[in-house]
C-alpha cells in the first residue's frame, strides 16, 4: 500500500477516536463481549462494600467502580453496609469485622505485607467476595488482580486466591534528564514537567501511578543514572516531594540517582571521598533533609566509576566504601542503596564481559545490609541476546537485583515490535548452578537462593510523553510484562502475553491465538535479523540505531562493533572460552563446561563464546556463513509473516491502533532487510563466500549503508 | 487548599476521563444542551448530500457527520441524491448541477478562491442548505464555519453567508529543531517525529491539520528560524513530503526555513554569496528537487544576519540580494520567500528599536514580487506590550506580513493564563497614519492599504506534544484566536473569546460571561504585574522566565534588562523621543507627535518612549513610583480575581480541565507576586521611596530573588 493511500485511509477512519485507546494501556475496561462470562459476572457481582476510609481505600473503590461499571455495562451499587449477597467487600485486615475475619484468618498466613486474598466466603449464609490484605496498598493490588480476572474473561466462581509478590523492590528506572530529554528514550520526552512542579500535578502522573499499581510496581527512580546533582537541591526536592505525594497513594516509592560528586557540585565541599567525615556527614544531612519531606523515600540508585561517572575510585576507595557510606546515610530512615555493577575499565579493554564480575565478586559480604547490587541481565549491555551475567549466584552473601532494559536501545527503538518478556524469561530460567542444579537466576533475583532479606528487579523504562506512553503500542506489553515478572519471576511469557492482549485489545480467540504467537516469536525474530548465533553489539555508533558492524574508530576499543564480532578471513566470533579470554571460568563449573566447548555451547550463544571458521558446521549441517545468512533472511521473512498476521487481525482491533501497528511493521520490515543487507555485505568481505540460495540479494552497496547518518536519532 | 488535598481531589475525580477533552481543543462537538437550539437544528437539518468525490470532499463529509451526529445526538442520514428537504448540500462549484448553481451563481462573485457560501435555498420548492466554494478546500472551510454556528448556538434560520479570508498567507511558524526540542516551546516537544517519518503518520499530524483547517490556517513552517540545513537533504525532504501529503488535504501548505549557508553546509560549495552563480544555481536545483516531491511547497522563511544566523551580509551583500536570489529559485513553482526583518546589529547598540526600520525601509520596492517581508508586531521582541512596529505602512511598495508570537516567551510560558488576541487586536487596530488617517496595521497586513498582491500573518506556534497541545488549556484560545484574526484581522477579540469558550467548554451564559471577562482582562493583568507603563524586556536571562530587571552582564548590551529600563536615581524609562534616540521619528508625523510628547503619549507606552522622574505625575495623580507599584499590586489582585472567577465556574466545566486551570492559576498568582516583589525591591534602590499604601510588602529579599536560577527552564 502506498504511503499516500495509507495516509488517506487513516484520515477517513480516525476522526472520532481522538487517540483515547492508546492512552489507556491495559486498563481499557472494555465492556465484556463474551455473553457467557458477562452473565457469570453479573450474577456473581451485585454490589461493592468498601471498608476503608483512607485515601488509598478510596482509590481502590474508585478503580473497582470504574472497572466493573465499564466492563459490566452496569452501575454496580456501592453500599455502606452488607446488604444482600454477592457483594465485593474490599478492605484491609484492620477494617474487617470479627465475623469476616474468622472466615479468612488463616489465609493471612499465606501472604506477605504486599500480598492479597480474594475469596468467596459465606457470611450469614450469604455469598460474598472478599478482597483483603494486610494494608490498603495490598488491597489495591487485590482489586487490580480481581479486575484482571474479568478483563481476561476468567471464571470467578469459587475464587480462592492468596498471592504475594516474590521480590521486595519492583522498580522502574527512568533515564530522564532534568531538561526532559530521555537517554535511550524513544517515546517522546520525560513525563516529569519539572518547571510546573510542585504545584501542577499532571493527570499523567496519576495515570502512571494507576497503571504501575495494576502490575505491582512499587518503586520508581525518577532520574538518569548519568546523574545530575541538582535533583538533590531544595528547589528540586520540593518537586520530587510533590511526585512522591501522588505515588505514595498507589504504593510507589520514589528513589533518585545520587551523583557521587554532589558534595562538591552542590555542597561546596572540596572532595567527595566517601571516607571523609565531612562528606559522610553531608550525605547524612542530605538524607535527613530528603526524609523530612518524603518519609518513605526509597533510597538511591548509583552508577559510579562507570563511563565517566564519578565515584569512590576517584579517591582511591572502592565500591564498598562508596556504597556503605551512602547506606549509612539512609539506613536510619529505612532507605536502600542500589549500587550498579555496570563497570568496565577504560584502562583494560581485554574482555569487557569479564570486568563487572572481576571487580565486584571479591566484595561479596562486605556491603551493609541495606545495599543491593544491581546487575544487568548480561555481561555486555542489553543485547538482543546475552548469556546470563556471571555475577548471578556468584555473590552468596550479597543481595543482587536484576536490571532489565525495557526501552529497546538495541532492539529497534520504539519502531520494532519485540516482546521482551521472552528475553526476560530466558534469563530468569537460566540455571547458574551456583548452589547446585536448579539455582536459577529467578531464585537469585527473588532472594530465595541465599535467603536474602533484600531482593529486587529493575527495568529501564520505555515510558515517555508520547500519547501512547511507549512509542509502539506493543511496547506497552513490555512494561506490563516487566511488572508481572517483577511480581513473580516464575511466570510464563505466554501467559503474560495472553493477559495483556485480552486486557488491551480483545478476548476473541481468533485474535489472541495468532497475535500471541506473533509476540512470542518476535524476540527470536529480532535476534535473527540483527545478531544471530551469538553475535552482539554490532549496532551503529552512539545512537545504536541500525547496523554498524564496520565501526572500529571509537575512542574506547570495547565500544567498537569490530571488537565484538572480530570477523576476519578465518572466521567470526569472540573467543571467551579457555582458549580465549576465559570469561567462561567466571561461571559455575557445570555452566563453564557447557559454554567452553563449542560442541555443547548452545548455538544461540556460539559467537559470544567462540571464534569459529566460516566453514564451521552448525547443527543443521549448514556452514557458519550460510547458516548466518539464512538466519538473517529468516528474520526478514518472519517480519513479513508478522505483517500478514497483523493484517488478518484488522477486524478485531480499533482502526487507529490497527493502522499504527501496521505502519510500524512496514518500517520494521524495511529495517530488517537493511540489517540483513548491511551485515551480510560487510561480513562477506571476510567470508569471501557467495550468499546461499534463499537469501535475497542486497539492493544497495556496502558504501551506501556505511554512509547513512542519523544525527538526530532519539535517545542519544 | 494544600497541594496534598488538591492532589487527592484530583485523584478521586480524574479516573474516567483519561484526558480526552483537553486533546480535542475547540472541536469538542459536545451534544447541544440548549433545547431550543437543539430543536431548531434538528428541524433544519435532516440529511447530508456530499457532491464531491475527492479526498478533501470525503474529509469534509466526515467532519460534517462527526460534528452533526455528536452535537445533535442523532445520526444524520447521508444521502446520495437530493431527497426531501433540509439537506446540507456540500460541494464545490464544479460539482453543483445547473439548477443549484442558478440559485447561488451571483454569490460566487462575493468570494475569493478560499471563500465559501452557506445559504438556505429553495430547490423545487424544498428548502436546502448549500455549503459551497470555488474548490474543495473552500468548501471544507465552509463546513467548519457551519459547524461553528451550531457549536456556538447561533441560529441557522435563513442563513446567507459569503465569507472569504482577507489575507493570503495564514501561517504557523514552528520553532522546532530536528532533535525535537522547541525553541521557546512550553508545551512539551516537537510534534514532528522525524525518526519515524516518512512511513509512520502519527494521528496527531491529522488532528493538527483538522484543527488548523477549522480556523483557516493554510500554511505551516515546520522548522526553527534558527535553521538547520539538514532539513534540505533528501533524507529529510522525504519526511517533509510525507507531512505535506497529509496537510495538503486540509489546504495547508508546507514551508521550511532556509539556512542561508546551506550551499556550504550540505552543498559542498565554498561560498553562500547570493551573487555567486553556483550558489544561485544550487538554490534553483534545490527548489526543483523540493517541488518535484512537493508540488505545492509554500516556500522559505528566512532569518538572516540576525543573532548569529548567516546571511547575505556575510558576503558584503544586502537583504535584497539574498531574498531575491531565493525568490528566483522558487518563483517558477509559485513559491514565496518570507524574509524576516528581525535584525539588530551586534555593532550598534544605540537603540535596538530603530534598527529593523533603518535597515529595511530603504529597500522598499526592491524586492521581487514573490518576496514578503515578515515583521514582528513591535520593534523589540514580543513584549507584553510594545507600540506597533514602525515598518508597518512605511514600505509602500513591498508587501509586509505580521509576525505574532503565540507561544508565551515573555508572557509566562504555558503557566500563565493570558488571552493574546487582545494584544493582537490592539496592534491590528493601531493607526499608522502612513497613508492618512485610518491606515491601520490591519490594512497593511491584509494588503489593502497599498493594494499588495501578497499578504499574510504568521504566528510563532505554542504547539507541542503535550496531551493538550499547548501546555495551558487557555493557551489553546491563543492558537484559535490567531487563526481567526489571520482570516479576518478586523475581528473583535471578545467575539473570538466567546466563540472559543462555547466551542471548547460550554454555552452556558453563567459560565461564558465571567470567564470571557476574565480572558479579556488577562492581557492587561500580565502587563500590570510584569511590565506596566511601557516597561519592557526586564525578564531574566536567556530563558526569559521570571523577573530579572537587575541583569546587566550579558554579552550584548541590548540583551540586558538594564538597557531597557535605564533606572537610576533620577528616574526610569527609555527616551526614544527626539530628546533621546529619536525612534519616534520613524513613525508618520501624526504618530510621532503623539509619542514624542510625554503629555500625549499613551500612558501604557510612557516608559517605552520616555525617561521620567520617579515623581512624574501620572494622569491619575499618582507619582510614577507610586503608580508603578500600584500597577504591580493591581496585577496581583487581578490574578486573585481570576482564581475566584475560575473557582466559581467549577460546575460548568469537566473536573479534569477545571483542576488543571485551577492549579495553573495558583502558580500564576505566586509568580505575579514574585514579579511584583522582585521588581519593586530592585527599582526601589533607585527611587529611594517607600511602597505606597495598598502594596503588599515583599516576603523575600532582593538577594533571594537574584539568586534564583532555572538551568532547565523549558524552551531555551
State the nearest Cα–Cα gap between A101 and chain B, in angstroms: 29
| Cα B78 from chain centre | 37
d(C-alpha A270, C-alpha B304), whole Å:
46
Residues A127 and A198 in one domain: no
Indicate the pLDDT class of residue B122, thresholds 50, 70 and 90.
very high
B59, B199, B204 member nearest A3 (Cβ) = B199
Q: How far is CA B32 from CA B72, B505, B508, in A?
A: 6, 12, 11
Closest residue of chain B to A187, computed from CA coordinates? B193
Restricting to B residues 623-662, those with a Cβ less than 8 Å away from any Cβ of A are 656, 660
Residue A594 lies in a domain: no
State the nearest Cα–Cα gap between A501 and chain B, in angstroms: 20
Q: What pLDDT, on the 0 to 100 scale, is given for residue A705?
A: 98
Asked if pLDDT for residue B5 goes beyond 80, the answer is no
State the nearest Cα–Cα gap between B708 and chain A, in angstroms: 9
Diameter of chain B measured on Cα atoms: 82
d(C-alpha B111, C-alpha B119), whole Å:
13
Interchain CB distance below 8 Å, B55 and A8? yes
B66 and chain A: CB distance < 8 Å anywhere? yes
What is chain A's alpha carbon radius of gyration, rounded to the nearest angstrom?
Answer: 26
What phi, psi does A606 have (nearest 5°)? -50, -55
Asked if pLDDT for residue A6 goes beyond 50, the answer is no
Closest residue of chain A to B187, computed from CA coordinates? A193
In chain B, residues with a C-beta closer than 8 Å to the C-beta of A189 are: 180, 188-189, 465
Interchain CB distance below 8 Å, A3 and B714? no
Indicate the pLDDT class of residue B18, thresholds 50, 70 and 90.
low
In chain A, residues with a C-beta closer than 8 Å to the C-beta of B467 are: 203-204, 465, 467
Residue B364 lies in a domain: yes
B236-294 pLDDT per residue, tens: 999 999 999 999 999 999 999 999 999 999 999 999 999 999 999 999 999 999 999 99
Q: What pLDDT, on the 0 to 100 scale, is given for residue A18?
A: 52
Residues A255 and A378 in one domain: yes
Asked if pLDDT for residue A108 goes beyond 70, the answer is yes
Residue A186 burial class via C-beta count within 10 angstroms: exposed 0-12, middle 13-18, buried 19 and up: buried
Closest to A567 in 3D by CA, of A537, A600, A522, A525? A537
Interchain CB distance below 8 Å, A55 and B466? no
A5 and chain B: CB distance < 8 Å anywhere? no
Residues A175 and A157 in one domain: no
B246 and chain A: CB distance < 8 Å anywhere? yes
Asked if pLDDT for residue A9 goes beyond 60, the answer is no
The whole-number average pLDDT for the span B357-365 is 96
Q: What pLDDT, on the 0 to 100 scale, is given for residue A537?
A: 97
In chain A, residues with a C-beta closer than 8 Å to the C-beta of B670 are: 199
Q: Give the count of alpha carbons within 13 A of B4, CB side only.
A: 9
A238 and chain B: CB distance < 8 Å anywhere? no
Q: What pLDDT, on the 0 to 100 scale, is given for residue B345?
A: 81
Q: Tell me the three state secondary structure of residue A673.
A: helix
Residue A603 lies in a domain: no
Q: What pLDDT, on the 0 to 100 scale, is given for residue B349?
A: 77
Mutate to test the interface with A, among B4, B7, B250 (most CBs of A within 10 A): B7
A62 and chain B: CB distance < 8 Å anywhere? yes
Q: Read off the CATH number of the domain in which A53 is found.
A: 3.30.379.10
Residues A418 and A354 in one domain: yes
Q: Read off the CATH number of the domain in which A208 is found.
A: 3.20.20.80
Catalytic residue check, A351: no
Dihedral angle, C-alpha B235, B236, B238, B241, nearest 10 °: -170
Cβ atoms of B479 and B464 within 8 Å: the answer is no
B58, B199, B710 member nearest A12 (Cβ) = B58
B654-672 pLDDT per residue, tens: 999 999 999 999 999 999 9
In chain B, residues with a C-beta closer than 8 Å to the C-beta of A4 are: 245
In chain B, residues with a C-beta closer than 8 Å to the C-beta of A714 are: 180, 195
Residues A147 and A191 in one domain: no
Residues B552 and B473 in one domain: no
Interchain CB distance below 8 Å, A12 and B199? no
Residues B157 and B68 in one domain: yes
B9 and chain A: CB distance < 8 Å anywhere? no
Task: Count CB pairs under 8 A between chains A and B.
Answer: 163
B509 and chain A: CB distance < 8 Å anywhere? no
State the nearest Cα–Cα gap between A706 and chain B, in angstroms: 15
The dihedral region occupied by B124, where left means phi > 0, alpha psi between -120 and 50, and beta the remainder, is left
Residue A345 lies in a domain: yes
A293 and chain B: CB distance < 8 Å anywhere? no
Q: What is the ipTM of this complex?
A: 0.95
Domain span at residue A216? 169-490
A554-566 pLDDT per residue, tens: 988 999 999 999 9
Question: Is there a cis peptide before residue B584, judged by omega within 30 degrees of 0?
Answer: no
Asked if pLDDT for residue A12 goes beyond 80, the answer is no
Indicate the pLDDT class of residue B9, thresholds 50, 70 and 90.
very low
B63, B195, B246 member nearest A714 (Cβ) = B195
B676 grid coordinates: 511584583
The whole-number average pLDDT for the span A87-98 is 96
Closest to B588 in 3D by CA, of B406, B371, B440? B440
Residues B319 and B381 in one domain: yes
B201 and chain A: CB distance < 8 Å anywhere? yes
Asked if pLDDT for residue A10 goes beyond 50, the answer is no
The whole-number average pLDDT for the span A17-38 is 89
Q: Tell me the three state secondary structure of residue A15.
A: coil
B587 grid coordinates: 513613525
Domain stops at, among A111, A136, A163: A163
Q: Read off the CATH number of the domain in which B617 is found.
A: 3.90.1330.10
Residue B580 lies in a domain: no
Neighbours of A278 (CB within 10 A): 12
Cβ atoms of B568 and B686 within 8 Å: the answer is yes
- Residue A581 has what DSSP assignment? T
Closest residue of chain A to B658, computed from CA coordinates? A203
A124-153 pLDDT per residue, tens: 999 999 999 999 999 999 999 999 999 999
Residue B518 lies in a domain: no
Interchain CB distance below 8 Å, B203 and A656? yes
A465 and chain B: CB distance < 8 Å anywhere? yes
Residues B129 and B213 in one domain: no
Write a three-state SS string for B167-190.
CCEEEEECCECCCCCECCCCCCCC
Dihedral angle, C-alpha B284, B287, B292, B295, nearest 10 °: -130
Mean pLDDT, chain A, as a whole number?
95
B20, B180, B711 member nearest A230 (Cβ) = B711
d(C-alpha A401, C-alpha A376), whole Å:
9
Domain stops at, among B443, B475, B490: B490
Strand order across the beta sheet in which A160-163 lies? A77-79, A47-50, A87-90, A126-133, A116-123, A160-163
A198 and chain B: CB distance < 8 Å anywhere? yes
Q: How far is CA B174 from CA A4, B406, B459, B644, in A?
A: 24, 10, 9, 35
Query: Where in the sequence numbering do the catalytic residues of B fall?
Result: 307, 381, 409
State the nearest Cα–Cα gap between B650 and chain A, in angstroms: 18
Residues B435 and B558 in one domain: no
Asked if pLDDT for residue A643 goes beyond 80, the answer is yes
State the nearest Cα–Cα gap between A264 and chain B, in angstroms: 18
Q: What does pTM read for this prediction? A: 0.96
Residue B328 lies in a domain: yes
Domain stops at, among A490, A512, A547: A490
d(C-alpha A253, C-alpha A83), whole Å:
37
d(C-alpha A418, C-alpha A522), whole Å:
5
Beta strand B336-340 with A126-133 is unpaired
Closest to A89 in 3D by CA, of A117, A66, A110? A117
Residues A633 and A697 in one domain: yes
State the nearest Cα–Cα gap between A539 and chain B, in angstroms: 16
Residue B220 lies in a domain: yes
Asked if pLDDT for residue B158 goes beyond 60, the answer is yes
Interchain CB distance below 8 Å, A196 and B465? no
Closest residue of chain B to A663, computed from CA coordinates? B200
Residues A373 and A460 in one domain: yes
Cβ atoms of B483 and B219 within 8 Å: the answer is no
Catalytic residue check, A409: yes
Q: What pLDDT, on the 0 to 100 scale, is given for residue B82?
A: 82
Catalytic residue among A321, A409, A466, A605: A409
Report the domain count for chain A: 3
Q: What pLDDT, on the 0 to 100 scale, is given for residue A19?
A: 56
B19, B203, B245 member nearest A4 (Cβ) = B245
Asked if pLDDT for residue A458 goes beyond 90, the answer is yes
Question: Is there a cis peptide before residue B414, judged by omega within 30 degrees of 0?
Answer: no
Interchain CB distance below 8 Å, B55 and A180? no
Restricting to A residues 73-102, those with a Cβ less than 8 Å away from any Cβ of B are none
Closest residue of chain B to A243, computed from CA coordinates? B7
Interchain CB distance below 8 Å, A201 and B10? yes
Q: What pLDDT, on the 0 to 100 scale, is given for residue A14?
A: 40
Amino acid at each position: 500500500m502506498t504511503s499516500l493511500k495509507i495516509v488517506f485511509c487513516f484520515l477517513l477512519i480516525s476522526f472520532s477516536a481522538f487517540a483515547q485507546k492508546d492512552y489507556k494501556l491495559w486498563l481499557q475496561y472494555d465492556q465484556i463481549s463474551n455473553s457467557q462470562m458477562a452473565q457469570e459476572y453479573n450474577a456473581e457481582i451485585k454490589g461493592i462494600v468498601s471498608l476503608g476510609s483512607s485515601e488509598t481505600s478510596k482509590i481502590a473503590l474508585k478503580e473497582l467502580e470504574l472497572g466493573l461499571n465499564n466492563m459490566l455495562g452496569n452501575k454496580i451499587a456501592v453500599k455502606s453496609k452488607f446488604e444482600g449477597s454477592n457483594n465485593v467487600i474490599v478492605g484491609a485486615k484492620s477494617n474487617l469485622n470479627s465475623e469476616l475475619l474468622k472466615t479468612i484468618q488463616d489465609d493471612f498466613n499465606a501472604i506477605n505485607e504486599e500480598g492479597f486474598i480474594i475469596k468467596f466466603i459465606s457470611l450469614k449464609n450469604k455469598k460474598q467476595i472478599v478482597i483483603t490484605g494486610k494494608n490498603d496498598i495490598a488491597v489495591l493490588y487485590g482489586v487490580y488482580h480481581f479486575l484482571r480476572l474479568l478483563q481476561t474473561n476468567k471464571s470467578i466462581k469459587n475464587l480462592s486466591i492468596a498471592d504475594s509478590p516474590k521480590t521486595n523492590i519492583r522498580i522502574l528506572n527512568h533515564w530522564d534528564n532534568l531538561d526532559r530529554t530521555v537517554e535511550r528514550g524513544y517515546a517522546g520526552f520525560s513525563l516529569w514537567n519539572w518547571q510546573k512542579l510542585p504545584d501542577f500535578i499532571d493527570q499523567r502522573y496519576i495515570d502512571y501511578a494507576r497503571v504501575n499499581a495494576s502490575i505491582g510496581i512499587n518503586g520508581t527512580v525518577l532520574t538518569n543514572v548519568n546523574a545530575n546533582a541538582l535533583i538533590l537541591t531544595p528547589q528540586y526536592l520540593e518537586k520530587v516531594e510533590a511526585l512522591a505525594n501522588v505515588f505514595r497513594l498507589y504504593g510507589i516509592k520514589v528513589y533518585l540517582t545520587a551523583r557521587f560528586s554532589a558534595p562538591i557540585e552542590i555542597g561546596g565541599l572540596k572532595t567527595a571521598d566517601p571516607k571523609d567525615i565531612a562528606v559522610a556527614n553531608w550525605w547524612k544531612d542530605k538524607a535527613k533533609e530528603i526524609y523530612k519531606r518524603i518519609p518513605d523515600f526509597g533510597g538511591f540508585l548509583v552508577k559510579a566509576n562507570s563511563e565517566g561517572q564519578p565515584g569512590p575510585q576517584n579517591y582511591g576507595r572502592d565500591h564498598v566504601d562508596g556504597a556503605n557510606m551512602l547506606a549509612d546515610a539512609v539506613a536510619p530512615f529505612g532507605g536502600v542503596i542500589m549500587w550498579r555493577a555496570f563497570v568496565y575499565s577504560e584502562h583494560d579493554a581485554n574482555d569487557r564481559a569479564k570486568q563487572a564480575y572481576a571487580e565486584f565478586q571479591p566484595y561479596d559480604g562486605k556491603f551493609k545490609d541495606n545495599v543491593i547490587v544491581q546487575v544487568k541481565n548480561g555481561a555486555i549491555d542489553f543485547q538482543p541476546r546475552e548469556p546470563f551475567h556471571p555475577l548471578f549466584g556468584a555473590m552468596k552473601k550479597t543481595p543482587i537485583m536484576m536490571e532489565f532494559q525495557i526501552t529497546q536501545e538495541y532492539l529497534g527503538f520504539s519502531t520494532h515490535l519485540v516482546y521482551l518478556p521472552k528475553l526476560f524469561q530466558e534469563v530468569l530460567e537460566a540455571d547458574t548452578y551456583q548452589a547446585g542444579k536448579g539455582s536459577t537466576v529467578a531464585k537469585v533475583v527473588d532472594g530465595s537462593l541465599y535467603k536474602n532479606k533484600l531482593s529486587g528487579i529493575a527495568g529501564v523504562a520505555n515510558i515517555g510523553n508520547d500519547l501512547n506512553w511507549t512509542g509502539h503500542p506493543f511496547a506497552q506489553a513490555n512494561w506490563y510484562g516487566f511488572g508481572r515478572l517483577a511480581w513473580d519471576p516464575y511466570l510464563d511469557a505466554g501467559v503474560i502475553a495472553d493477559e495483556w492482549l485480552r486486557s488491551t485489545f480483545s478476548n476473541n480467540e481468533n485474535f489472541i491465538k495468532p497475535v500471541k504467537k506473533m509476540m512470542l516469536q518476535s524476540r527470536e525474530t529480532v535476534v535473527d535479523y540483527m545478531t544471530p548465533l551469538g553475535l552482539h553489539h554490532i549496532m551503529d555508533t552512539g545512537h545504536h540505531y541500525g547496523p554498524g558492524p564496520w565501526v572500529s574508530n571509537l575512542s574506547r576499543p570495547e565500544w567498537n562493533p569490530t571488537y565484538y564480532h572480530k570477523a576476519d578471513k578465518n572466521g567470526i566470533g569472540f573467543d571467551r572460552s579457555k582458549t580465549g579470554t576465559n570469561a567462561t571460568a567466571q561461571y559455575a563449573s557445570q555452566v563453564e563446561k557447557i559454554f567452553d566447548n563449542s560442541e555443547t555451547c548452545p548455538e544461540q550463544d556460539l559467537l559470544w563464546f567462540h571464534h569459529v571458521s566460516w566453514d564451521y558446521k552448525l547443527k543443521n549441517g549448514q556452514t557458519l556463513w550460510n547458516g548466518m545468512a539464512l538466519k538473517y533472511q529468516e528474520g526478514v521473512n518472519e517480519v513479513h509473516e508478522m505483517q500478514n498476521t497483523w493484517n488478518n487481525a484488522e477486524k478485531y482491533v480499533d482502526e487507529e491502533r490497527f493502522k499504527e501497528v501496521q505502519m510500524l511493521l512496514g518500517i520494521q520490515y524495511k529495517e530488517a532487510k537493511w540489517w540483513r543487507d548491511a551485515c551480510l555485505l560487510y561480513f562477506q568481505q571476510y567470508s569471501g563466500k557467495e550468499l546461499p540460495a534463499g537469501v535475497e540479494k542486497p539492493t544497495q552497496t556496502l558504501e551506501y549503508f556505511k554512509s547513512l547518518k542519523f544525527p538526530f536519532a532519539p535517545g542519544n
